[in-house]
Amino acid sequence: MDKLKRVLSGQDENIDDVNILQAANEASTLGWGTRVKGFIACFVIGVICSVLGVCLLWVPRIGLVLFIVFYTFGNLASLVSTMFIMGPLKQLKRMCDKTRVFATILMLVFLALTLCAAFWWKSNGLALLFCILQFLAFAWYGLSYIPFARDAVIKMFTLCLK
């Protein structure tokens, strides 16, 4: 458990990175228990919002807009939840790593396009398409944290397409 704490709090990094992350860690007033509680709370709120969005999809006339808002907010809450564990600076740094920067950009762009399609362009079909792309980008981003997961997914799809 101590090793997990060190890795997630940024204490198991290179010496150059330790100074910046250590300063950010020291500036934080949240203890480990509070961070875990914040993570769980944000993650649960994110899951509830996403599920609630799916349930509201069938409300006449405004169901799709409610789905898009709740689903997008749920994704954002789930993303923010990891900042409690790692800290905001380390999370942003990891989001911009060369292995996941493209997925991060796609995820954020599709989040914004989903909301634009729902509220400004008033295009339900386009909003739903962006919502699906948002899900796929979020999944691809999430897979980047699991060693060799992306390679396994790519290999699985290439085997299925043969």
pLDDT at 45: 96
Delimit the domains of the chain by residue range.
1-95, 97-162
Question: CA 57: distance to chain centroid?
Answer: 22
- Report, as an integer, the average pLDDT of 67-96: 90
What angle in degrees, to the nearest 10, is found between the helix axes of 88-95 and 63-86? 110
What angle in degrees, to the nearest 10, is found between the helix axes of 101-119 and 63-86? 150
pTM above 0.85, yes or no: no
pLDDT-derived band at 124, boundaries 50, 70, 90: confident
pLDDT at 11: 61
**Segment 8-49, tens digit of pLDDT:** 565 655 545 555 555 655 556 788 889 899 999 999 999 999
Pick the residue with more confidence: 58 or 24? 58
Angstrom distance (rounded) from CA 82 to CA 160: 33
**Segment 82-104, tens digit of pLDDT:** 888 888 888 899 999 998 999 99
Angstrom distance (rounded) from CA 111 to CA 46: 14
The pair of structure tokens assigned to 142 is 């999430």
Pick the residue with more confidence: 105 or 162? 105
Rounded to whole angstroms, the maximal C-alpha distance in the chain is 57
The mean of the pLDDT values for the chain is: 84
